[in-house]
Amino acid sequence: MRSLTTAATGMQAQQMNVEVISNNIANMNTTAFQRQRAEFQDLIYQSVERMGASSSDAGTIVPTGVQVGLGVQAASVYRITEQGSLIQTGNRYDLAISGRGYFRIQLPSGADAYTRAGNFAVSPDGQLVTTDGYTVAPGIAIPQGARDVAINQQGQVQALIDGQTDPQIVGQLELSTFFNDAGLEAMGDNLFMETAASGAPTTGTPGSTGFGVVRQGFVEGANVNAVSEITALIQAQRAYEMNARVISASDEMLAASSNLR
């Protein structure tokens, strides 16, 4: 019976749906996490009687035909790049992006990664780095004698050094944007990599046309809505149960036909 394999594909699809939802819920408190949504599409159809086929020698045609669907399959897991809420931390090295853009991170391999998680720190040699010690491009060096650091909305980094009345400009942050943010490849550790689907990055200064601004002393929260995720989880669970019932019904029908005398 087709219904057995059809319902099995439905159970597999809802299992993936629950896995995506569980990852969203698990990362509710992850800095700048972007929630995901599983998307599905129907499988190929089996044509028992093709529509448009000739039904007589008088030229009549079959108007609708008979097509039986064979189930569902995963089409994609789409990343929702909606802005998360800004959370004030008071840490002078915490930065949030309000608007479009990603911070560019230099990996130890020399490759570039991108992130919206601006919970940065300072390395032993004064470089602005991520929590894993990766350098924030294009490289911001904080002087050793700096008693305070200010970063304006345009990403200009200024240090107030003992013995000087005016702050000293020590660097300029840059942001990168992509035509298709959802096409970035998630690498874990809040990092993304460029792919052919995302397109090449466009780099610019914060606040310029097409780029967001930087907020010092804030981090971006996850854009996960707990109520929406729990509602989606209940819907996925019910869909899984209904597909399981189809398998049970199909099994009972097969058992009844095999017991015919």
- The two tokens of residue 238 are 């019910």
Handedness of CA 108, 114, 119, 121 (dihedral sign): positive
Which pLDDT tens digit goes with each residue over 46-76? 888 787 787 777 778 888 888 888 899 999 9
* Phi, psi (rounded to 5 degrees) for 18: -65, -35
Of residues 257 and 112, more confidence is placed in 112
Of the pLDDT bands very low, low, confident and very high (cuts 50, 70, 90), residue 178 is: very high
pLDDT for the residue numbered 66: 85
pLDDT beyond 80 at 31:
yes
Mean pLDDT along residues 85-112: 94
What end-to-end distance do the CA atoms of the chain give, in Å? 20
Of the pLDDT bands very low, low, confident and very high (cuts 50, 70, 90), residue 261 is: low
Q: Mean pLDDT score of the chain, rounded to an integer?
A: 91
Between 142-146, 169-173, 224-228, the lowest mean confidence (pLDDT) is in 142-146
Mean pLDDT along residues 193-200: 94
Nearest to 62 by CA among 75, 51, 76, 74: 51
CA 215-217-218 angle, to 5 degrees, is 65
